[in-house]
Structure 1
Amino acid sequence: MPMSLLIHWGLFHRDFSNTNVRRMTIESIADIQFLIDNSVEESTELEYKRSFAKANPKWKEELAKDISAMANANGGIFIYGLAEKNVSNGLSLPELITPIPSTEMTKDQLSQLLSSNITPKINNIEISVLPQEGGNVFILHVPKGITAHQNKINHLYYIRRNATVEVMEDYEIRDVMNRQSNTPLEIDGCGLYKTKNDPYSNKVEYTFMAKIQNVGHSVCEVYKLNVYFNKISLHCEFSFPSNENFSYTALDAERLKISCRYQEPIFGGETLEMGHFVLHIDKDHEEEFLDGLIIDMILFYPGGSCDVAFIPSEQRYVEGRDKINTLLGRDKRIDYPILEVDSFKKIEKN
């Protein structure tokens, strides 16, 4: 296969200060109405609740179960006071804002319930109260736990899988308890910038960057980002900065992997960029390439990995290997390297 390869991401441009894969922010009734109007379904990190279901004798146990399960997974958002409707295949969509009377729940009461019924206490839960006629809507931003959190009422550990809550397996509990020592990293977004469009040239240039965040509390010194392209052709060349370490693997006639190796330690809470490689694409093939392009990213670090895909034409992220493989139309990833090289055309610094 020739070493001249085409890739183009012309429709996508993001400001990194606003880029985040996982964490949407719900701050107002307008944000909630947006969810309703756009039929945003429940997910691993988003759940709708009509009320606190206090008619159920075990409602406190259910509350602790739901919140601890979210923290034991990836963290996320609960909206209490938003009715949902069930459609086909177990899909739940937001339907109607249903304010919860102030006599039923207050912010202080909710905070106390969570503190007393979940152990260890989940730090940094954000509880917002949006007043409405007839009551309030409660928004809970639950952070990803750095250890496993237990339902103190029934002494069980739960985790959220997609839109369901299940009892954790023993190995899952141990894995979550080791989060702090494993120093987890996350892909916090990606950027594609049109950096050059010379009217006298038949090529345009785009620069790729990915945003990596250390969500743990200790230093991570070894990590690697693999970036996969699901469609390649003969109308593009890559170039790479001379001060960064790259390699690539042609996996088959349609798929290319670019590996970006770590350059520096990343401290707890720190965010940095990786990538910075440039795509030189034939102008006549921009739209052809963009149609159906999926950028599949895997971030490897000691003790784990993070899988995120981006669809430029839809400006949409997909998280989780199973969902990404479904998106790509295959049940599992099998990498049969055709060619591996350690260096490419370098971008020389002025």
Structure 2
Amino acid sequence: MNIESIADIQFLIDNSVEESTELEYKRSFAKANPKWKEELAKDISAMANANGGIFIYGLAEKNVSNGLSLPELITPIPSTEMTKDQLSQLLSSNITPKINNIEISVLPQEGGNVFILHVPKGITAHQNKINHLYYIRRNATVEVMEDYEIRDVMNRQSNSPLEIDGCGLYKTKNDPYSNKAEYTFMAKIQNVGHSVCEVYKLNVYFNKISLHCDFSFPSKENFSYTALDAERLKISCKYQEPIFGGETLEMGHFVLHIDKDHEEEFLDGLIIDMILFYPGGSCDVAFIPSEQRYVEGRDKINTLLGRDKRIDYPILEVDSLKEN
């Protein structure tokens, strides 16, 4: 999500974009609270220890229900209360190690300013220097990190992060003498770090499976698949070779065979949900073929799919796979 202007903030209000793991609204810096500096360090470090994200200070939120918060009103913060330099100094002084590359934007408004903070995902665990605790953001809440979580985040620096750099569902065969249309799926995986990543796995979830579609897989790649429920299928694509820093590889290349009589019905509303796992992290991206559109981030994907959390209850494991 790219938020850089008052127009972008107004879009959030007009479209009732709720807070998430990677987006937080704050009316002010809450200086009336004696521990406001501790709370500031807690919130920012928790975001970095999770997946990074955006804070907007000067945007009041309203609680709707069940912890759901929506943006309500732009509330400029007086210049006498906070400046960009003061905020930068507070973050540097109260979070250790210092979070590099935090972007602070100040949008002048009548009566004060709105602050937008772009917090990058940390490459190590960041501690609240005031109370010496480590925090992490889960959905729209902040919690103290468990020991294993601290160790996992500290290992990010030694593990190169991977990203899903796009995917496609391409019609590759339309034999007029066959009652099946063939579509090939492929995803691009990029190592955005500097070291070699030798272990990774891509899970691809289809939200619509039926008797009108079946799959086949190339023998050169390692696949397994699981029927999660009556309508969801998970296909796991395991790594074939190390991926070096800055390198991009393709994964997938499996084929969907769709009954032509039900081709349009199957593709309409199809959502391909992808989770890329690698040591120290994961990357979540969904692709909507009918719209040629991507949705990034687990919270947004779950909203798109109409559920609050990912349900992953295997019903049937299939070991023998078709091969091309």
TM tier, smaller: 0.7 to 0.9
- Partners of 2:180 and 2:259 within 8 A in 1: yes
Q: What is the distance in 2 between the residues matched to 1:251 and 1:34?
A: 36
Deviations 1:260-281 (A, max 9, x none): 2324322345554422333342
Deviations 1:149-174 (A, max 9, x none): 11112211111111111222222222
Q: Note closer, same or farther for the CA distance 1:330–1:242 as it changes in structure 2 (3 Å cut).
A: same
Show the 5 A alignment for 1:200-211: 203-211=180-188
- Partners of 1:300 and 1:306 within 8 A in 2: yes
TM-score by length of 2: 0.80
Of 188-197 and 270-279, more deviation after overlay is shown by: 188-197
Q: 1:203 deviation in Å?
A: 4.7
Q: What is the distance in 1 between the residues matched to 2:24 and 2:149?
A: 22
Q: Note closer, same or farther for the CA distance 1:255–1:55 as it changes in structure 2 (3 Å cut).
A: closer
Equivalent position SS for 2:66:
helix
Of 299-308 and 326-335, more deviation after overlay is shown by: 326-335
Q: 1:104 deviation in Å?
A: 2.4
Of 284-293 and 50-59, more deviation after overlay is shown by: 284-293
Q: What is the distance in 1 between the residues matched to 2:50 and 2:313?
A: 32
Segments of structure 2 that go 5 or more residues without pairing to the other structure are: none
Q: 1:186 deviation in Å?
A: 4.2
Q: Given the alignment of the two structures, is residue 28 of structure 1 paired with residue 15 of structure 2, yes or no?
A: no
Q: Note closer, same or farther for the CA distance 1:289–1:77 as it changes in structure 2 (3 Å cut).
A: same
Q: Note closer, same or farther for the CA distance 1:285–1:101 as it changes in structure 2 (3 Å cut).
A: same
- Partners of 1:146 and 1:216 within 8 A in 2: no
Q: 1:77 deviation in Å?
A: 0.6
Q: Note closer, same or farther for the CA distance 1:184–1:58 as it changes in structure 2 (3 Å cut).
A: same
Deviations 1:257-302 (A, max 9, x none): 4332324322345554422333342332134324664534343334
How many residues are matched?
324
Root mean square deviation, CA, Å: 4.0
Q: Note closer, same or farther for the CA distance 1:194–1:36 as it changes in structure 2 (3 Å cut).
A: farther
Equivalent position SS for 2:314:
coil
Q: Note closer, same or farther for the CA distance 1:55–1:286 as it changes in structure 2 (3 Å cut).
A: same
Segments of structure 1 that go 5 or more residues without pairing to the other structure are: 1-23
Q: 1:223 deviation in Å?
A: 1.7
Of 28-37 and 209-218, more deviation after overlay is shown by: 209-218
Higher relative contact order (CA 8 A, sep 6+): 1
> Percent sequence identity over matched residues?
98
Of 229-238 and 216-225, more deviation after overlay is shown by: 229-238
- Partners of 2:20 and 2:299 within 8 A in 1: no
Q: Note closer, same or farther for the CA distance 1:195–1:126 as it changes in structure 2 (3 Å cut).
A: farther
